Chains A and B, each alone.
Chain A
Amino acid sequence: MKAEKLKGHLDLLLLSVLSGGPGHGYEVITRLKVRSDGAFELPEGTVYPALHRLENAGLLASAWDVVAGRRRRIYHLTLRGEAALAEQAQQWREFSGSMTRVIGASRARVNGSARLHPGLRPARLVAALAAGGRA
């Protein structure tokens, strides 16, 4: 999926990934890739301004620690972050459900039309029109 499509949902994705436990930036990106089966492709650098923004908003907190020989900033969800995640996840489920219903209904109509077409051969169509539309 293109980065532009993910932009509006990045906060929810990051909160969701960090709900599984604290992690540093690289770890967050790795979890995001694994959990999306590699479907979410975005420049990895874009995750950092998003993490900092969420921290400034009080939804995340961070602490420095040494992991695998490197000094790293470990992020974790705050209570406000957990509440925000629950709210945003609910909103997404409602939005996703509505989208699925709309798209599903459209597809059903398209499939239904496609099934009618083979029967509408020219000769039968002319006969039907001549008979006043009774095909």
Chain B
Amino acid sequence: MSSGTADVPGDLVEDYLDRLLVSLSGSPRQVRHTLAEVEAHLRDAVAEGIAAGLPEETAQAQALERIGPVHAVTGRAAVLTRPSSALLRRLTLTAALVGGAGFVAIGGAGLVGRLLQAIKGNLFMTAPWPHGTYTQAGCARWLAGYPGTRSCVTAMLADHAFDFLLQATAAGLLGLIALAAYLFLRRRWRDRATMTALPPGTAEALGTVMAGAAAVYFFGVVADIEMVQHGIGAGQPLSLAIAAAGAAAVFALALWHTVRAARLRSG
């Protein structure tokens, strides 16, 4: 039976006690006492299983099944017992992760856009404004910015495509800063109240839903542009749709890992 204090990967009882520790509320003494009491209980139950001829891992899983989920021991729903400051910290972490990943995905759309621009040209990336909606001064500005272009419309397309790529790159950098902030804050806020203020996988689920919805929306825009404008200007929404779909896939994979790990921990 594993009773050491070192981190033992795959030790179900140790994992359960870790989760119990970060979920218990009360004075430090109450927390210590309850933890010691439940540990003695689990060790007894595992010893009983082993004595009955079960392998240790099965005996551990059986002991955890018998004792029930962590909130059965704490006696109250975990989320309701968290102080609001812990919830705010956890929400900040969630926003930093989801927002940061979202902005990085927009940066990724910039890279996809650059590729599409190279393959299919500026007319695929952005639709020209209709005649009469821009001034001579605007035309002169675009031509000055892109002296190699031969017409006002070509210069306008190059300018608008460049604007999209520039903004996407800026968003990507902002996303990286947000993700760095997330990693920094997560290291600072590793207290039990913050860690359990929201159910595990909340940020991943939120990211999956938001990125998935964005992907569906932008693919819809692409389909609309294909039908109405014969693909002229479809490059921008297509870049965003591909990036959003990628982000949704990454979030979904992270969610699957989180849920699977939680299930394994709970036996």
Contacts and interface: CB of A to CB of B under 8 A. Distances in A.
Contact of B36 (A29, A46, A53, A73): A73
A2 interface: no
Given A26-B45, A43-B66, A43-B67, A48 B36 contact: no
B37 A72 contact: yes
A48 B30 CA distance: 12
B40 A70 contact: yes
A25 B36 CA distance: 11
Interface in B75-127: 75-76
Contacts of A53: 75
A29 B44 CA distance: 12
A132 to B, nearest CB: 65
B73 to A, nearest CB: 4
A46 B75 CA distance: 7
B37 A73 contact: yes
A54 to B, nearest CB: 12
A53 B73 CA distance: 12
A122 interface: no
B41 A25 contact: yes
A25 B37 contact: yes
Given A45-B69, A46-B68, A73 B33 contact: yes
Given A26-B45, A49-B73, A49-B75, A44 B40 contact: no
Contacts of A115: none
B40 A45 contact: no
B43 interface: yes
Given A48-B34, A49-B74, A26 B69 contact: no
B36 A43 contact: no
A31 interface: no
B37 A48 contact: yes
Contacts of B254: none
B72 A26 contact: no
A52 B72 CA distance: 13
A71 interface: yes
A71 B40 contact: yes
Interface string A22-41: 00111001000000000000
A43 B68 CA distance: 5
Interface in B169-187: none
Interface in B38-67: 38, 40-41, 43-45, 66-67
Interface string B19-38: 00000000000100110111
B34 A52 contact: yes
A46 B74 CA distance: 8
22 contacts: A25-B38, A26-B41, A26-B44, A26-B45, A43-B67, A43-B69, A44-B41, A44-B66, A45-B68, A45-B70, A45-B72, A46-B73, A48-B38, A49-B74, A49-B75, A49-B76, A52-B34, A52-B75, A53-B75, A70-B40, A70-B44, A71-B40
Interface of B: 30, 33-34, 36-38, 40-41, 43-45, 66-70, 72-76
Given A43-B72, A45-B72, A70-B40, 15 more contacts: A24-B37, A24-B40, A29-B41, A43-B67, A44-B66, A44-B67, A45-B38, A45-B68, A45-B70, A48-B34, A48-B41, A49-B74, A52-B30, A52-B75, A53-B75
Interface of A: 24-26, 29, 43-46, 48-50, 52-53, 70-73
The 8 closest A-B pairs by CB, nearest first: A43-B68, A49-B75, A45-B72, A45-B73, A45-B67, A45-B68, A43-B72, A44-B67
